[in-house]
Structure 1
Amino acid sequence: MQRGIAHPSLSEATREFVRRAHGLLIDGKWSEAQSGRTLDVEDPGTAELLTRVAAGEAADIDRAVQAARQAFDGGPWRRVKPAERARLLWKLADLMHDHADELAQLESLDNGKPVVFARAVDVLSSVEMVRYFAGWTTKFGGETVDVSVPGEWHAYTTREPIGVVGQIVPWNYPLGMAVWKIAPALAAGCTIVLKPAEQTPLTALRLGELVLEAGIPPGVVNVVTGYGETAGAALAAHPQVDKIAFTGSTEVGKLVVQAALGNMKRVSLELGGKSPVIVFPDTDVAKAAPALARAAFFNTGQVCSAGTRLYVHERIYDELVEQVYTEVAGWRIGYGLDADTKMGPLISAEQHARVTGFLEAARADGATVLGGAPSDATRGHFITPAVLKDTLPTMSVVREEIFGPVLCAMSFRDSEIERLAAIANDTNYGLAASIRTRDLSVAHKLARRIKAGSVGVNVHSVPDPALPFGGFRQSGWGRERGREALELYTEVKSVAINLD
């Protein structure tokens, strides 16, 4: 028996789920892919086969879209009142909370992340996300409008669900990203076809079971596992999908936009980032170092908003960079289900090769690389955290999103606000940024000038359901979380009644 399934911490429910046959959830029923094909799911902590799931393709996507179309156009979902949608979402959240340990174990097996973080961050924050959007179902609508044309009028707007939504989610936060999309879509009254990443389908499938158990009607949420180039592409291009929501790389996001042009479906994109962190000399170094390490290396650096461009004033540069490296050098790298693991593996051999390739290029370009060595923790895709010094703005490690545990540390001398804003904005991305200073005037001025969807002051990110999240520039379109997420799943209709 492979190490993952044999791990002593695993519950029998988790083992049983992994071992069973995994089909597609379409119209409330589980079925094989029409082709009969399956895809292998690897345990990134051991590089061993974990399980197999159905490999859905265009025909399966079409079946799922038809089910979602029927549930939206002719099924009971359109007649479900907002308060009842809220109750169903609360029921789903309660079920997720009841099965939090199982979901965390599945997430750790599938993605490799430490199970303690999977439970505290991925699962429990997903529960809160569902509850947050449950609260919006009865509070999100149109408004009356005072028009200025001659005559007497009653004018108002309505917010209507956009319809059938295709949702494609990534492998770095498989459960969290699925919930970020499913919860507001259900709150708005849409129906869904979810395509999880082929590397990490397990929590999406378990979530599908909990959706049915919660009493959400058949066809409202459909889950089709499969490859991006087949199932994902078919979903993005399907003419009966009214909206596509995608989280992933900027490169693939551009392909999604092209595929969506056929029927001009609405598109929202949460894409890549290369987030700057600017540290002023009045910063408490001992307090900042662990926080900066988490900002760059949490989830093995596989975070779109990770703070991977670190700019530190020269007065504290050497001290701070040394403390950041000392912090991460003490992290235990290991298998995600081991209780003392602080950092797990990269998701795949492909991602491992990508990260090590960037480090080799950095060394060739003259950067000093602290860490970044292959780890012998297990046979999985492990690498130690890398802190890079002597980097330049032209280097690929500074300019491109690596999606791994790599931090580029650079110093600055001049604290002039406009110059620092220009440094922070010297990127194609604009997802997140953070500033560390005790001077609130400096913080406000710089935050105003940075072109990013989220800016933290003395913190890098705040994962609260009420705070909108999304990017400027090539980091995407639209916002997830908060009231703004509901806007992604609704259309506005204006109604004007002539009372004369």
Structure 2
Amino acid sequence: MSTNLDENLTKLDGYLARFRQDGIRNHIDGQSVAASSGESFETRSPVDNSLICGVAKGGAQDIDAAAKAAKAAFPAWRDMRASERKAILNRIADAIVERAEEIALCECWDTGQALRFMSKAALRGAENFRFFAEKATAARDGQSLPSATLMNITTRVPIGPVGVITPWNTPFMLSTWKIAPALAAGCTVVHKPAEFSPLTARILMEIADEAGLPKGVWNLVNGFGEDAGKALTEHPDIKAIAFVGESRTGSMIMKQGADTLKRVHFELGGKNPVVVFDDADLDRALDAAVFMIYSLNGERCTSSSRLLVQSSIAEEFQAKLVERVNRIRVGHPLDPATEIGPLIHKVHYDKVTSYFDVARQDGATIAAGGTTPESKGYYVAPTLFTDARPDMRIAQEEIFGPVLTAIPFETEEEALEIANGVAYGLTGYVWTNDITRALRFTDKLEAGMIWVNSENVRHLPTPFGGVKASGIGRDGGDWSFEFYMEQKHIGLALGQHAIPKLGAN
């Protein structure tokens, strides 16, 4: 990857040339196809609102064709030797690494994410495929549970064709995170990526096709949630839906899938606390707090968007925080020096910037940022709200941008009450050098994932997911297989045990 903006722009132009000429098409049953309606929509770069290319606008008819292709391909993929599936997944991982630069530059241009973070997105995606490739051979493993009369054994079998709906933030990595375990389990897939960022989903589909994935095993349909997404969640041939996105959309998907009894896995929103006690290593806590809200443009579900800092250190800590926030480099996402790029789309930009007025109206202080640099793109200065109360909208609602709300607390009990006092429960970050306090606090903290004296460090075998409005189910390791597979019990008689007789006399 070049360290020069102009070189990266030149390389990007070469990668985008074919998309500008041909657009982004759907991929159904092994074939690259236009939408059945012939319609398309535009994807534009948040950097300068320039047109990237046209995208096939899939609808119910396209979803139906993809679902039927996935259903037809399922028996052969399910019954393929796990070692063969493993080999295909590893070939996909190899090809991802080979095209890592293309993936990173296209992702930055399509999403506005800074290259310093996206440069590793492809490698993390390859890691996801390799991890689940290794687990494919043991995905069906079960238990032996003997009783007095039976040898009871369990096994797991793939659930069938599944729908995967991925978001616009870090779309490549999140696509691999969902699709790799589905394929490793033996499921077939219909993938609908977010309409705001379709580029790398198409590249990933091409990689899988060239790696020898049988036709129909993985299908790609672009489109909008109200037509393609709804059709996917309602389709009777789709047995489960894995969705990453907003909590309200997750609720809608659950309703849409109810008639066909869809199994669902939801990774939804967050309003995650980072709790800093006065005995913490404050320099490290500051580094982690800044990183976890301002990296990835703040457009991440695990961001530490609420800073709960103990009153005895709040003034000093916030002064250092303001200084750091004001030094964060906002700029072109393909410039390796950039730390924050533009937000994904005008719709989201308008949402994030609306909270500047909300903060003022509710009586909070904008201690840093709260401005929008002049640009053709959707840039927002990294922002810090102070003097906030737990009941303010800026402390309750997911903003999903580079915006941090600081709230002071006096006691451990008050910190816990504030931390738990939101609808969400995805992650939490606790900074203290008192191990007994850490154990007490994490036990009571309502979150699916908690890091103590650390930023979010993802370990693939561990469970990933939230509680309350932040989601249902877990990703990672065997937890992924629990979603994509059905548990089966088989009881084998050990002898001729007594069987109750009815109607024998």
Residues 1:452 and 2:447 are matched in the alignment? yes
Residues 1:137 and 2:130 are matched in the alignment? no
Provide the residue aligned with 1:430 in structure 2.
Answer: 425
**AA of the residue aligned to 2:65:** R
Residues 1:206 and 2:203 are matched in the alignment? yes
Show the 5 A alignment for 1:486-497: 486-497=481-492
Deviation at 1:219, TM superposition (A): 0.5
Deviation at 1:19, TM superposition (A): 4.0
Which consecutive residues of structure 2, in runs of 5 or more, have no partner in the other structure? 496-505
Deviation at 1:9, TM superposition (A): 4.5
* TM-score normalised over the length of structure 1: 0.95
Label 1:176 to 1:283 Cα distance change in 2 as closer, same or farther (>3 A).
same
Deviation at 1:356, TM superposition (A): 1.3
Residues 1:26 and 2:10 are matched in the alignment? no
Deviation at 1:340, TM superposition (A): 1.4
Q: Distance in 2 between matches of 1:140 and 1:59?
A: 33
Provide the residue aligned with 2:260 in structure 1.
Answer: 263
Residues 1:331 and 2:328 are matched in the alignment? yes
2:249 to 232, 248, 252: 252
Which consecutive residues of structure 1, in runs of 5 or more, have no partner in the other structure? none
Q: Distance in 2 between matches of 1:115 and 1:252?
A: 29
Q: Distance in 2 between matches of 1:447 and 1:205?
A: 41
SS of the residue 1:260 aligns to:
helix
SS of the residue 1:303 aligns to:
coil
* TM-score normalised over the length of structure 2: 0.94
Contact 1:14 1:105 in 2 (8 A): no
Provide the residue aligned with 2:473 in structure 1.
Answer: 478
**AA of the residue aligned to 1:292:** A
Contact 2:142 2:156 in 1 (8 A): no
How many residues were matched structurally? 491
**AA of the residue aligned to 1:425:** N
Q: Distance in 1 between matches of 2:294 and 2:192?
A: 27
Provide the residue aligned with 1:421 in structure 2.
Answer: 416
Contact 1:334 1:377 in 2 (8 A): no
Provide the residue aligned with 2:395 in structure 1.
Answer: 398
**AA of the residue aligned to 2:57:** A
Deviation at 1:314, TM superposition (A): 1.4
Q: Deviations over 1:271-320 (max 9, x none)?
A: 00100111011223233222211111111111111101111111221221
Provide the residue aligned with 1:68 in structure 2.
Answer: 70
Provide the residue aligned with 1:45 in structure 2.
Answer: 47
Residues 1:309 and 2:293 are matched in the alignment? no
**AA of the residue aligned to 2:26:** L
Deviation at 1:420, TM superposition (A): 2.6
SS of the residue 2:182 aligns to:
helix
Show the 5 A alignment for 1:71-82: 71-73=73-75, 76-82=76-82
Contact 2:373 2:381 in 1 (8 A): no
Contact 2:59 2:227 in 1 (8 A): yes
**AA of the residue aligned to 2:269:** G
Q: Distance in 1 between matches of 2:356 and 2:477?
A: 37
1:277 to 255, 274, 285: 274
> Which range moved further: 9-18 or 341-350?
9-18
Deviation at 1:267, TM superposition (A): 0.8
Provide the residue aligned with 1:16 in structure 2.
Answer: 18
Q: Distance in 2 between matches of 1:450 and 1:95?
A: 41
Deviation at 1:496, TM superposition (A): 0.9
Q: Distance in 2 between matches of 1:142 and 1:212?
A: 28
Q: Distance in 2 between matches of 1:498 and 1:284?
A: 61
Deviation at 1:423, TM superposition (A): 2.0
| CA root-mean-square deviation | 1.7
Label 1:260 to 1:5 Cα distance change in 2 as closer, same or farther (>3 A).
farther
Contact 1:41 1:198 in 2 (8 A): yes
Contact 2:243 2:267 in 1 (8 A): yes
**AA of the residue aligned to 2:28:** I
Provide the residue aligned with 2:347 in structure 1.
Answer: 350
Q: Deviations over 1:116-153 (max 9, x none)?
A: 21012x221111111111111112224344354x5x32
Contact 1:432 1:471 in 2 (8 A): yes
Q: Deviations over 1:156-183 (max 9, x none)?
A: 1110001000010100111111111101
**AA of the residue aligned to 2:447:** A
Provide the residue aligned with 2:105 in structure 1.
Answer: 105
Identical counterparts, % of pairs: 38
Show the 5 A alignment for 1:112-191: 112-120=112-120, 122-148=121-147, 152-191=149-188
Label 1:428 to 1:4 Cα distance change in 2 as closer, same or farther (>3 A).
farther
